[in-house]
Amino acid sequence: MACARFRPARRRSLNGVEMSEKNLSDWQTAAAKEVKGKDLTWHTPEGIEVKPLYTTEDVTADPGLPGFAPFTRGVRASMYAGRPWTIRQYAGFSTAEESNAFYRRNLAAGQKGLSVAFDLATHRGYDSDHPRVVGDVGKAGVAIDSVEDMKILFDGIPLDQMSVSMTMNGAVIPILAFFIVAGQEQGVPTEQLDGTIQNDILKEFMVRNTYIYPPEPSMRIISDIFAYTSANMPKFNSISISGYHMQEAGATQVQELAFTIADGMEYVKYGVASGLDIDKFAGRLSFFFAIGMNFFMEVAKLRAARVLWHRVMTKLGAQDERSKMLRTHCQTSGVSLQEQDPYNNVIRTTIEAMAAMLGGTQSLHTNALDEAIALPTDFSARIARNTQIVIQEETGMCNVVDPLGGSYYIEALTQELVDKAWEIIERVESEGGMAKAVAAGWPKAMIEEAAAARQARVDKGDDVIVGVNKYRLASEDQLETLEVDNHAVREGQIARLKKMRETRDEAKCRAALAALAEGAKGNGNLLELAVEAARHRASLGEISDAMETAFGRYGTTPTPVKGVYGAAYDGDARYNQVLEGVAAVERRLGRKPKLLVAKMGQDGHDRGANVIASAFADMGFDVVSGPLFQTPEETVVLALSENVDIVGASSLAAGHKTLIPELINRLRENGRSDIKVIAGGVIPPQDYDYLRDAGVQGIYGPGSNVVECAADVLTLLGHNMPPLGEAA
């Protein structure tokens, strides 16, 4: 135990009991004796040294009072003692009809707000009949092609009484236009619409990748939405600045905190530059954070976020205190959910929900236990929703404002997060702001390095995941999961699109789309023009295409980090066996074994693909990282041109049963059935036999050890790899 880390304590009185340096010294001696001198300091991934004991001497900043600047203890004076947070479950199920029915059931069961998940075709600005989205329609969310779909989505749900959050970034203009027109046709004036649109494109370029247009026009879109909503939608939050997807992509809590606040700064600057008064729109900005399993770190993170945002907005010239309040939605971690021993996920989500609550969130989504492998069933969704209801109504936790306020540990940790995040924010600002930092690529690289390091710690067992790398069950029963009939959904969407196009006033629709295209080339407000196009039944793809004529479509190829995963395994016997195996295959082939990591379909989540690419490269493979959003045909062309031995198909959005068999068939058609296809990602175990029958030779789901995946691949390549346990 490093006693020197404890600062000398001044004598203080606490409830009449005098604390002294001698008392602290006595504790240090007693603790060191109990643990036989072991250093109990916890070195976190954030670079924070967490001590085993905190005292009043560690509290260096006054957190103030709830409802008052800098809002460390909450944005409202009464917080949950006055009104609990909003239970806002995120959901979207294949069709607007199914999603609507699900929303109605949840609202009847106690949910207070709606949060809409869209399918990947919608996110990327494609109509359901586009050839690039055959495997994506209705997967991982609801398909919305037009105002007609949006009206069905909210049928019987009064939009003047219900707050609606929509997670949309790439196709934000058509989706928000559909929402506005659907409200109007429901009889709700635009100024009464209440809710939030995510509209956070910088984060997409860093981690989630559901962008459509290049960065510069994407930032213009945000400014146009700010202008339209501030003039017409006073109750609507025009952006939800998201750290959630950063943490899901592997960011530490410091990185998530810093980059999210820096993104917010950039959006405010763009709004001001477009002529808006900062105090006219800043109060309608909101935030979105992930809540993972590092309990106290997450509590402190939300408190630190409020401190940082108050500091930033003061610096940017805001005068109204409401402009300086950070309001946030939170969601429990998706990455912390595990396929193995999945009922543990209920426990994980409960712990994360408590952290969000104790950190002072304004609304919360709790993940369902089966979301590691599929969309939630009604059964699992009910448990997830009831987790929040139980906390609100059975525990007494809501009766005290900021119950962890004054904890020596929490207050010290909050300040440490503020300081470390501010260092990164200052670097961002010194280099010209977040847009330039994103273009330079270093925030993305930092996050990917953190993701690779985390994967190595899990694979080695340094970071314990119960049921995955410790206390694993010998055998597991399969969970019943929800499966979407992608073909049926797509056919239904295509039929509705066809009917709409046949019955609309084509001349008025084309004129509105032409006006939008001209506005994109000039300086017309894109949302205002899109609302008119939506009213005349222009589709999502048509509105997106009209802007694409001016802006173009953006694309990128991943560049995985090097050396991070391998460094964690220095001297490890099993890792060295894999290195030797790769070298043996290289001697036999006369070149390194070559792996193509392929991302097919419209899913941009690339954490898993990048970790695999990084780790396999560190282990000596020649790795080709394919571009995002490939079709099976494009993947085959790349595989043949690069003469790869293996294609590793990464699937996280349920397109595996469509896209991977097509990939294998096209390889066979080209006479290259020798190229082995393996699959990884979010794939329900009940689909394994289907994929194996289609020709997949290795399947690696969530929780798979990457070193053992590499060992398995070597076996597929004909190397006599020693089994696990024989490494000395």
pLDDT at 655 over 90: no
Average pLDDT for 86-115: 82
354-369 confidence digits (pLDDT tens): 999 999 999 999 999 9
Nearest to 195 by CA among 382, 326, 363: 363
* Rounded (10°) angle between helices 253-273 and 295-315: 20
Q: Where are the beta strands (DSSP E) in 416-492?
A: none
Report residue 293: phi and psi, to 5°: -85, -10
Asked if the model's pLDDT at residue 463 lies above 80, the reply is yes
**Which value, to the nearest 10 degrees, does the dihedral of the CA atoms of residues 336, 342, 345, 347 take?**
-140
Return the exposure string of 633-649: e unless at least 16 CB atoms fall within 10 Å of the residue's CB, then b: eebbebbeeeebbbbbb
| CA 84 remoteness from chain centre | 25
pLDDT at residue 727, as a whole number? 59
Q: How far apart are CA 64 and CA 303, in angstroms?
A: 12
Q: Could you read off the pLDDT of 694-709 as tens digits, one per residue?
A: 999 999 988 899 999 9
pLDDT at 725 over 80: no
Predicted pLDDT of residue 4:
36
Instruction: Please report, rounded to a whole number, the percentage of residues in the chain having pLDDT higher than 70.
Output: 96
d(CA 260, CA 239): 12
pLDDT at 106: 79
Q: Of residues 724 and 326, which shows the higher confidence score?
A: 326
Angle, alpha carbons 404-409-411 (nearest 5°): 65
Residue 20 has what pLDDT? Answer: 53
Model confidence at 1: pLDDT above 50: no
Contact 222, 239 (CB under 8 A): yes
The per-residue pLDDT for 617 is 97
- Confidence class for position 371, pLDDT limits 50, 70, 90: confident
Q: Read off the pLDDT of residues 257-272 as tens digits, 9 standing for 90 and up.
A: 999 999 999 999 988 9
What is the model's pLDDT at position 476?
83
SS3 600: strand
Give CA–CA dist 167/319, Å, rounded.
30
Question: What is the chain's mean pLDDT, rounded?
Answer: 92
| HSE (side-chain half, CA atoms, 13 Å) at 687 | 25
| Average pLDDT of span 418-423 | 98
pLDDT given at position 437: 94
State how far the Cα of 183 lies from the Cα of 196, in Å rounded to an integer.
14
pLDDT mean over 390-417: 97
**Among 91-95, 126-130, 535-539, 579-583, the least confident range:** 91-95
Q: Report, in angstroms and rounded to the nearest whole number, the Rg of the chain calculated over CA atoms.
A: 26
Average pLDDT value for residue range 585-595: 97
**Catalytic residue set:** 90, 244-245, 599, 603, 605
The pLDDT value given to residue 373: 79
pLDDT band at 276 (very low <50, low <70, confident <90, very high): confident
Query: Residue 653: its pLDDT value, please?
Result: 65
Is the per-residue pLDDT at 11 higher than 60?
no
- pLDDT value at residue 445: 94
Q: At 639, which amino acid appears?
A: A
d(CA 681, CA 359): 31
pLDDT (0 to 100) of residue 409: 98
pLDDT at 718: 94
User: What is the rounded average pLDDT of the residues 580-604?
Assistant: 95
3-state DSSP assignment of residue 283: helix
Helix 172-185 and helix 540-551, axial crossing angle in degrees, nearest 10: 140
Give residue-wise pLDDT tens across range 172-208.
999 999 999 999 999 999 999 999 899 999 999 999 8
pLDDT band at 487; cut points 50, 70, 90: confident
At residue 649, the pLDDT reads 95
pLDDT-derived band at 480 (thresholds 50, 70, 90) equals confident
Q: Residue 241: its pLDDT value, please?
A: 94
Asked if 375 and 140 touch (Cβ cutoff 8 Å), the reply is yes
Of 390-399, 602-611, 641-650, the one with minimum mean pLDDT is 602-611
